[in-house]
Amino acid sequence: MNPWPTGEPPEARLRVALAADRPLLHDHPRLRALLESSAVADPGEFFLLFLHHCMATGAALDQGAAGEDVADLVSGRWAGAALLAELGHANSNSRTHTEAVFDPATREFVLSTPVPGAAKYPATFGPAGFATLAVVSARLLTGGAEHGTALFLVPVRDERGPCPGVSIEPCPPTALLPLDYTTVRFDGVRVPYRRWLRDGASITPDGEFHDPLADAGARGRRTMSMGRFGWGAITVGLAAVARAAVSLALERAGRRRTLDRLAGEIPAIDHLNQQRLLFGALASALAATTLARRETGRYWSFGAPPGVHRELGLTKVAVTALADRAVNRARSASGTAGFFSEHRLIGYQGLTLAFQSAGGDNRLIGLDAAWTMAAGQDYTPPADAPGADEWVTLFRHRERLLHEELTAGLDGSFDTWNARSELALRFVSAHSARRTAEVVSGELPSDLYELHCLEEVEAHAGWFLARGLLTAEQVLGLPERINAICRRLHRDPTTLEHLLAGSGS
Ligand SMILES: Cc1cc2nc3c(=O)[nH]c(=O)nc-3n(C[C@H](O)[C@H](O)[C@H](O)COP(=O)(O)OP(=O)(O)OC[C@H]3O[C@@H](n4cnc5c(N)ncnc54)[C@H](O)[C@@H]3O)c2cc1C
């Protein structure tokens, strides 16, 4: 059953999709179905549901919101939003400038934007008329002492407009993923104690701050761990649009007539270049789907163990890259239909592009992961695995060698690390390629698995050759191996349709 309410005007449809009888994070199949169908039907509304059901409600549930606020989010009385990123600094989540100063007289927090660069930007909202309760990140201060970045639930606008002390300035319209993006400033907004998502921390009546976590750094990491609820939505949503894009493009390539100087009038898909684009896109879309669904349970679990956060972030990065590639190739194979909005593909691309930055910048996630892996935190480079197939063996080798290269001579200085930042990204991408191959082997049909791996190897063929892991003959033979798979897949198009149907496109 498609849970996306069709046949209604967009705003009425959004109201229905925001409301539930219980938190959808407690009902994974239902949440996943809603997110997948909304992403395919309307990427903009998917973005609002990702903010509401996962970012705002997830943080509220996970970090100790009052029952009535959770109930008001779940019922859809409030639409949820997340105000984390700030205008003035790159990587702003690592040092928030918005302030929440505790007032012991009233036991409230006074929320303010102390400098122009502390404005929350971009803050994404639903259409005017939707009352919005935002999860806002701010530096928590008591009596001049700082206690790290904490989260607060703040009503930022009601049905009539901004709440007192909140200024909401619309951003100029944007072409891709058009939504109501804004810049938000706070001027002495009073936030009651119960709307501090205190997650076990407390402030005594005489103003003494207690936190079960070790220090402000640990608190900041815990605060930002809310991102995993969003990553669960992003991964299932992007995998869904990747499948939908491939499905649309394959269907079009099957019926679009081309006039060939040698073969006469034949469907576009009979051309090998179309097959390579679209079957490769199919392999990427199905790999993204497998990765996303495998991790949904961990993304949407409460109190997830700290060690898994890095892998969950890297899965968000990997799925974004796979989905982006799939949609891009589907567009590239579709001519003008890849450009005009009525054919939907460009809207899907808007979503895959948005999430390279939204939900945490993919490069930063990669660099952070590389840093901790280079330091050996919960990581050892993969050894040869007995019984692993040729692809996994190659990818393990690549990861190991890049790790060696990255860590040789690291001395803790900025200059040394900075000189290796591109290498660090290659290393995490090799790590993700290895993990992806291990996860999808046995899940994808063998031809599609092999196609996925061959394309990964082909992208780094020069490196494999230089390292002596492939011979010149093997490198020169890669294109024909890919072509042979495409010809086999083309002979049996029904298999592809079944695959897409079976994975819920
Ligand atoms: C469509 C869309 C909607 C969004 N909606 C919201 C929303 O509703 N709420 C919200 O809070 N945020 C939202 N965001 C913001 C999003 O979360 C941020 O874009 C993201 O956190 C990246 O921040 P930034 O744009 O400031 O990039 P920057 O932090 O400025 O990064 C720019 C570049 O610099 C690099 N860089 C930065 N720091 C370092 C470093 N230390 N080392 C190496 N490289 C570095 C990054 O890798 C990146 O490539 C949205 C973004 C988009 C695109």
- Place 305 in a pLDDT band, splitting at 50, 70 and 90: low
Nearest CA to ligand 1 atom 49: 363
Write the pLDDT tens digit of every residue in 204-260: 998 899 999 988 888 888 888 999 999 999 999 999 999 999 999 999 999 999 999
Nearest CA to ligand 1 atom 27: 90
Asked whether 43 lines ligand 1 (CB < 6 A), one says no
Asked whether 352 lines ligand 1 (CB < 6 A), one says no
Whether residue 306 has pLDDT greater than 80: no
Asked whether 363 lines ligand 1 (CB < 6 A), one says yes
Distance from C-alpha of 469 to C-alpha of 397, rounded to nearest angstrom: 8
Asked whether 61 lines ligand 1 (CB < 6 A), one says no
Nearest CA to ligand 1 atom 33: 90
Nearest CA to ligand 1 atom 45: 364
Asked whether 92 lines ligand 1 (CB < 6 A), one says yes
What distance in angstroms lies between residue 173's CA and the mean position of ligand 1's atoms?
19
**pLDDT at residue number 2:** 40
Asked whether 322 lines ligand 1 (CB < 6 A), one says no
Q: Name the phi and psi angles at 493, rounded to 5.
A: -65, -25
What distance in angstroms lies between residue 361's CA and the mean position of ligand 1's atoms?
5
Helices (H) and strands (E) in the chain, counts: 18, 13
Q: Which residues contact 100 (CB under 8 A, 6 or more apart)?
A: 109, 110, 111, 138, 139, 140, 141, 150, 152, 191, 196
CA 302 to chain CA centroid, nearest Å: 18
**pLDDT at residue number 117:** 96
What distance in angstroms lies between residue 230's CA and the mean position of ligand 1's atoms?
15
Asked whether 82 lines ligand 1 (CB < 6 A), one says yes
**Residue 178 CB neighbour total at 10 angstroms:** 13
Write the pLDDT tens digit of every residue in 352-366: 999 999 999 999 999
Asked whether 59 lines ligand 1 (CB < 6 A), one says no
Asked whether 333 lines ligand 1 (CB < 6 A), one says no
Which neighbouring-strand residues pair with 150?
138
Nearest CA to ligand 1 atom 4: 358
**pLDDT at residue number 505:** 57
Write the pLDDT tens digit of every residue in 62-108: 999 999 999 999 999 999 999 999 999 877 677 899 999 999 999 99
Amino acid making up residue 264 = G
Whether residue 333 has pLDDT greater than 80: yes
Are the CB atoms for 127 and 18 separated by under 8 Å? no
Write the pLDDT tens digit of every residue in 412-466: 999 999 999 999 999 999 999 999 999 999 999 999 999 999 999 999 999 999 9
Asked whether 124 lines ligand 1 (CB < 6 A), one says yes
Closest ligand 1 atom number to CA of residue 137: 11
446-465 burial code (b ≥16 CB/10 A, e <16):
ebbbbbbbbbbbeebeebbe
Residue of higher predicted confidence among 11 and 462: 462
Q: Which residues contact 180 (CB under 8 A, 6 or more apart)?
A: 124, 125, 126, 127, 128, 170
Nearest CA to ligand 1 atom 44: 364
What distance in angstroms lies between residue 218's CA and the mean position of ligand 1's atoms?
21
- The CA-atom distances, in angstroms, between 72 and each of 17, 230, 261, 379 are 14, 20, 64, 42
Q: Which structural domains are found in the chain, ordered by start?
A: 10-74 (no CATH), 80-202 (2.40.110.10), 227-502 (1.20.140.10)
Nearest CA to ligand 1 atom 51: 358
ipTM of the complex: 0.97
Asked whether 357 lines ligand 1 (CB < 6 A), one says yes
**pLDDT at residue number 406:** 97
What distance in angstroms lies between residue 34's CA and the mean position of ligand 1's atoms?
26
Mean pLDDT, rounded, of the chain: 94
> Mean per-residue pLDDT for 314-341?
97
Closest ligand 1 atom number to CA of residue 355: 53
Closest ligand 1 atom number to CA of residue 83: 11
Asked whether 151 lines ligand 1 (CB < 6 A), one says no
> Mean per-residue pLDDT for 48-71?
97
Whether residue 493 has pLDDT greater than 90: no
Whether residue 390 has pLDDT greater than 70: yes
Cα radius of gyration (the chain): 24
Looking at 225-271, list the stretches that DSSP marks H as alpha helix, in order from N- to C-terminal side.
Answer: 227-255
**pLDDT at residue number 503:** 73
Nearest CA to ligand 1 atom 43: 364
Nearest CA to ligand 1 atom 50: 358
Q: Which residues contact 268 (CB under 8 A, 6 or more apart)?
A: 252, 253, 254, 256, 257, 258, 274, 333
What distance in angstroms lies between residue 358's CA and the mean position of ligand 1's atoms?
6
